[in-house]
Amino acid sequence: MTQSDNFARLADLEPRREALEEIRHHLHANPELSFEEEKTAAFVADKLESWGYDVTRNVGGHGVVACLTVGTGGRSVAIRADMDALPILEKTGLPYASTVAGKMHACGHDGHTTMLLGAAEYLARTKNFNGTVTLVFQPAEEAGEISGAQAMIADGLFERFPCDAIFGLHNHPGAPEGTVLTRSGPIMAAADTAYIKVIGKGGHASRPHLTVDPVMVACSLVMALQTVVARNIDPTETAVITVGAIHGGEASNVIPDDVDLAVSIRSFSPVVRDLLQKRVCELTEQHVAAYGATAEIKYELGYPVVVNSDAETTFATEVVRELIGDDKVSTCPLIPGSEDFAYFLQHKPGSFLRLGNGVDSAVLHNPKYNFNDANLPVGAALWARLAERYLAAGGNS
């Protein structure tokens, strides 16, 4: 851990922990879903303006972009935090639990936003950099379709607020608190969905020979789809096909006309992603045809693979090691979850990190999940130090 430089240290942010907890608990108690983050965005923007940032509101919806320029350096670094909550009834029993029934911060975006606000206050107070810090507070990460990242990019994010690289992070339940996981190249999966309607011919359950039973066909298709990964994908690649929903029929003595399936399809490379789409559609059509049925397929492409650039990941890893020590930094395994930060990385080099939320933390999207407050000064110090290092005189990335 470097002690001799003048960049932000964990000890510089620890005294701010109580203030950061107050911010985080306020956000946690007042969650807003994707596309509804009006009050959250106003809360964030007001604080940034009070610290002297040039703040632009309503970027790609409720997005907030804050810029601070110090010195004459021509470089700019962007750091992103997401703000939206989830439609989940909270069951933590915390004194600052959600005050909005059926909505909660079950993915830690309240913590992500708070850490970046902590870094923002520190950077504005110390001004120990030469260039422009661009802070991106993004709405609607959980949206799935037309996400906040896509909306902000479409609204001219990178043209209106130029940057040389962009960084982000997500908390990671199961990893020790205060540890950081990094990885070059693919880190999080592309997540696509196939909605399949198996169409047969309904009839009386006692006369199946006069029908084309879509229930039987759908059950067979569920098993057949598992052969795509097992027999069409290179064993050295990673892919997942999960049939998460199947609905058909209303009564035991009635064979229905059709059955609906919802299939989650995840991959870590564009080549595998394309092959999965091709094979799922081909296999579905041909498999159901063998039973005399037909299929309607709606194949939706979700978030792409999160691909970290090598140079920026190496730089971010160096910053983390300086801040918390080698023993608290490790290589992140491939994560089959998805993240719309991928869209930012299609336009700019950068890196997406993972911050351990504790080995006993509830999993993400769980009604008993809670962001670990011990991480607030860690994340704030990480972002402050990264910005200072990236924009140091002469450049250090």
Question: Annotated catalytic sites, by residue?
Answer: 84, 141
The secondary structure of residue 86, as a DSSP letter, is B
* Alpha-helical runs (H) found in the chain: 10-13, 17-29, 38-50, 109-126, 148-154, 157-160, 214-232, 270-289, 310-324, 341-345, 376-390
Closest Cα to residue 346, out of 207, 147, 54, 50? 147
CB-count burial class (<10 Å; 0-12, 13-18, 19+) for 92: middle
> Which tokens sit at 360?
């006993």
Asked whether 211 and 202 are in contact (CB, 8 A), the reply is yes
Task: Please give the radius of gyration of the chain, using alpha carbons only, rounded to the nearest integer.
Answer: 24
Q: Over the range 145-161, which residues count as b (16 or more CB within 10 Å of their CB) and which as e? A: eebbbbbbbebebeeeb
CA–CA–CA angle 348, 351, 357 (5° rounding): 145
Rounded distance between C-alpha atoms, residue 385 and residue 120, angstroms:
11
> Quick one: residue 365, left, alpha or beta (phi over 0 = left, psi -120 to 50 = alpha)?
left
